[in-house]
Chains A and B, each alone.
Chain A
Amino acid sequence: MSQTDSLSAVDFEVSATAGDARTGTLSIGETEIRTPNLFPVLNFYGGGTKNSVYGGGIHRTVKEFMISADRVGAGDYSEFFDGVLTSVSSLTDYNVTRERYEDYIAAPIKERDVFSPFSGTLFIDSGGFKFLNNDGIDGSNFQVNIDQKTAYEIQRRMGADIIVNLDRPIAPDDSHEQRIEKARKTGENIEEFLRLSSDFDGARFLTLHGYNYSMMDAFLTEITKYCSAETLCSSFDGIALGSLVPKKDDRSALIDAVIDCRRVLSDWGFDDLPLHVLGISSRAIPLLTALGVDSFDSSTYLQTAINGGYFVSLMETVNVSEADFEQCNCPVCSSDLLRGWMEDKENAPYQKDRLGAVAMHNLIVQKREMAKIRDCISRSETEPLIQYIESTVAQDKPTREFAHRVVNHSLGGYSL
């Protein structure tokens, strides 16, 4: 991929395809991540200091897994943190003081000693979604107005490998005028973002919003009033499809959006760029991957754990009190220490540790499924991926019809 404005070597190489699905490698500077892949959402800064791995409750425990901390058994979990997504907006989620906030953005994450074992691809979202109803982030005794300049400054200072422009996500009830107005503001931001980040040495992803072809096309038409299609194409290294969170439980709408997104990207000449879908729950991943999505981010592993949910598979969740740890060979379930935490909360130092261990297990389940999906695609024929979908998503009655639809649309269909 040519990088006219960006200085770094960003490369997205597709090594195999199966129908519309593709597998490859996204290399950004020193980092490399295989696609399709899932970026777990994680808050690096959660109100604490260096001594508490910068805190954040259950996030802290997950970070300790990430850095192989002694407290969680010092196991090597790095393969599950080959990519992580965090958001600008998470910086003040814990009601921090200005002093602490300043400290958080004072050094790149990977350059801090405590996080040095982490070497994965760091994706920092601009947090546009959180700023839908207000323009800033709030600390205990201060407020930072977030504009494109500030958002980029924070992304840069935190040491991101992938950044997106500050966007204005649309909502399902928006009128056409409201959507165009948001696209216009996003367009202004993009112009500024490209100017500010011209010497950024990571990958820049363009946010795209819309639920169908016409909406996305209208969005691109509006933003190209600020920045030509050629410039967009040569300056951005990837596309981040947003605004789908309100539709995350509507499989049909998600599939429509992704199918249309790929068509729009093809018609606008962006189809060689990696496509990331922002904030989608993990169960949709196999289907969206089959449609050609290259990466996802999700906090499902963590949110499910907070509610006591333990993944038996990508499709099945049980309460952790009913889980059979013997059936799982992941490093968390294989560790006496961690199994003890999950079995009985009395064993765990804190409740967050019990749930943190469950979250880590859940993430491993997801990441292993991603690896299986990559393996299916890398065989360069559709049958393995069809079989994967048939044995997972299609076994679940409510999602069955969507599984068939995707197989028919993107994988050549069934022989009936």
Chain B
Amino acid sequence: MKKHPKVNEVNEFLEIASDFEDPLEVIRESLSNAYDANASDVEIEIKSREMGSDIIIDDDGDGMDERDLESFFDLGNSRKTDSIGYKGHGTKIFYKSDRIVVSTATDDTHLRAKMEQPWEKLNRRELPEYEVSERPDSKDHTGTRIRIRNFRSGEGFDPEKLTYNKIEHYLKWKTIAGSTAYMFDEEDREMDITVRLGDEIDDSQPKLETTNRFEFPDPQEKPDEESEFPAERMCKHYDPTEIEIEHDGGTSTLQIVGMVGGKAARNELPTYGKHSAQFGVWLAKDHIKVERLNEAISHDNEFLHFFFIVNCQDIELSANRETIRNKSSSVFQKLKEEVEYHMSKVAQDPWFKKYLELRREAEIKRRARKRRSSLKQRRERVESEEKSEPTNRTEVLLELERSNGTATMTVEDFEPDADVHAIVRQSGKLRNAAVHYSLTDHFENELTFEEVDLVICWEYGDPVKLREYERKGYLGETVEVDLDENGLYYGDDNSYVEILPLSEQIESTTKQAVADD
């Protein structure tokens, strides 16, 4: 007996609609639909309401007839074959609301469709119905207006978090509004896009107006010689290139276009957040950017200087269009190889090399300026006779040289990483010296006193710590520090190590000098 597998319609609708959480995705789907309907103008309005967002999408496209309305509400019944929303999933995002009203006019029909409480019904495991009625000839041109009441955003996607800035960035990076198709296809239609947010969401500007075309910042291949950072506004456009790739499944076309630019040039684009999350190499389908392939840029080049878009109609997307599904396919592997190859040429472009070189030089000069200012501070400190304490072994030895005055001790050899750091000459004799900021460092570094004749330090350090070593012993030996004698005895045979605490010595010299005056 043959049996047909069944589909639980309600669950399917719930599942698909639940994939969409962000009201921004409503915008993305609406723009794609408007573009597919040949609209030249689309306006989107979003207002925040207590229970969700009210959204109105108005376009002057071809409008929908009854059959189109069916595919608008049906699941997986798209009439589109070569357009963006061919899966018939996108509009199901609207089901997460309290009401959907679609008013639409084609050349022949004027229809109105209404669905009440779709989200509530789906959650009651009930399939919502919609009602279609003919409406009087209210519009004198074709187009579609969709009104969504109380769209339910997912957690963390409250409409209040939207701003014009965020929307513009989203439009340009994630929707048809960021399309680069026009660079390849002269016939590509331009579509004006207007977004209005309720004042309760963002009152910084009345509306956002843009088109469906992504435009790079103006090229500027020469550096700003006057600027402190001459490469910062540099920008080069790389011509649109079409590359055919052969793979197991046939032939595909890659459309690659891009730019390289400094930070100032990149900032002229609608960026939102970090450049590191936005720039690099984007893979796109329908000229809508999907995922980045930054490994196509070799490690020795920072990807954020690049902004390339690689469009391929043979990549397959997940239902919410956020990721590429067919990454293990032959077409994707070939695409990856070809993009890597193309980017390797860009990375070796003499202009890009020059740009990097200018950046490097500017950075070196910036560091030099910084050093100059710190040098100024250091000189001021010296002039003010304000003493700074040594912070490492080398500085301790410099203090020794300074404090020597009459040069009773000279440093003959210094290996900061050895166990015994220095060899000094005193009264013609060579002595092995450990050098530390404080005597306690010698213990903390777990160094022995074997072969050490002398410890040169800035200060003794915490006397309590020294007492503890005296009390408990050190590396199994007895140890006794004699602060008056400036010496240390250790081991059974009471070996003697001289301590030279420079801060005390300098203090006594200074005091003496004052007394002598």
Contacts and interface: CB of A to CB of B under 8 A. Distances in A.
Interface in A377-411: 394, 400-401, 404-405, 408-409
A211 to B, nearest CB: 21
B67 interface: no
Nearest to B342: A416
A108 interface: no
A413 B352 CA distance: 13
Contacts of A404: 344-345, 347-348
A394 B298 CA distance: 14
Contacts of B238: 416
Contacts of B349: 408, 413-414, 416
B345 A414 contact: yes
B363 interface: no
Nearest to B239: A416
Interface in B339-359: 341, 344-350
Contacts, number: 28
Nearest to A409: B350
A134 interface: no
A400 B350 contact: no
Contacts of B239: 415-416
- Which of A405, A414, A416 has most B Cβ within 10 Å? A416
A182 B349 CA distance: 39
- Which of B238, B298, B345, B347 has most A Cβ within 10 Å? B345
A414 B345 CA distance: 8
B344 to A, nearest CB: 5
A413 B348 CA distance: 10
A403 to B, nearest CB: 8
A394 B340 CA distance: 12
Nearest to B348: A404
Given A415-B239, A416-B238, A400 B346 contact: no
Interface string B224-261: 00000000000000110100000000000000000000
Interface in B247-286: none
A401 B298 contact: yes
A401 B350 contact: no
Contacts of A416: 238-239, 241, 345-346, 349
A274 B238 CA distance: 38
Contacts of A414: 345, 349
Interface residues of B, number: 12
Interface string A107-133: 000000000000000000000000000
A409 B341 CA distance: 18
A113 B347 CA distance: 57
Nearest to B349: A416
B460 to A, nearest CB: 48
B341 A413 contact: no
Contacts of A401: 298, 344, 347-348
B5 to A, nearest CB: 47
B347 A394 contact: no
Interface in B24-70: none
A413 B239 CA distance: 14
Contacts of B341: 394, 400
A401 B348 CA distance: 7
A413 to B, nearest CB: 7
Nearest to A406: B348
A45 B347 CA distance: 49
Nearest to B237: A416
Nearest to A404: B348
A408 B350 contact: yes
B501 to A, nearest CB: 45
A401 B298 CA distance: 10
A41 to B, nearest CB: 32
Contacts of A400: 341, 344
Nearest to A405: B348
B508 to A, nearest CB: 50
A414 B341 CA distance: 13
Contacts of B241: 416
A415 B346 CA distance: 10
A101 to B, nearest CB: 51
A305 B2 CA distance: 66
B171 to A, nearest CB: 28
B352 to A, nearest CB: 10
B243 to A, nearest CB: 12
A400 to B, nearest CB: 5
A310 to B, nearest CB: 26
A282 B298 CA distance: 26
A394 B343 CA distance: 12
A234 to B, nearest CB: 37
Contacts of B348: 401, 404-405, 408
A364 B391 CA distance: 67
A233 to B, nearest CB: 32
Nearest to B350: A408
Nearest to B344: A400
A382 to B, nearest CB: 15
A192 B241 CA distance: 60
Contacts of A394: 341, 344
A404 B345 CA distance: 6
A280 to B, nearest CB: 22
Nearest to A395: B341
Nearest to B236: A416
Contacts of B346: 416
A50 B346 CA distance: 58
Interface in A223-260: none
A400 B349 CA distance: 13
A415 B298 CA distance: 20
A415 B345 CA distance: 10
A404 to B, nearest CB: 3
A5 to B, nearest CB: 42
A413 B298 CA distance: 20
Contacts of A409: 350
Contacts of B298: 401
B263 to A, nearest CB: 22
Contacts of B345: 404, 414, 416
A408 B353 CA distance: 11
A401 B347 CA distance: 8
Contacts of A408: 348-350
Contacts of A413: 349-350
A342 to B, nearest CB: 33
Interface string B287-323: 0000000000010000000000000000000000000
B152 to A, nearest CB: 47
A409 to B, nearest CB: 8
A187 to B, nearest CB: 37
Interface in A298-340: none
B373 to A, nearest CB: 35
Contacts of B344: 394, 400-401, 404
A416 B347 CA distance: 11
Contacts of B347: 401, 404
A394 B337 CA distance: 12
A163 to B, nearest CB: 39
7 contacts: A400-B341, A404-B345, A408-B349, A414-B345, A416-B238, A416-B239, A416-B241
The 6 closest A-B pairs by CB, nearest first: A404-B348, A416-B238, A408-B350, A400-B344, A414-B345, A404-B345
Given A404-B348, A414-B345, 5 more contacts: A408-B350, A409-B350, A413-B349, A416-B346, A416-B349
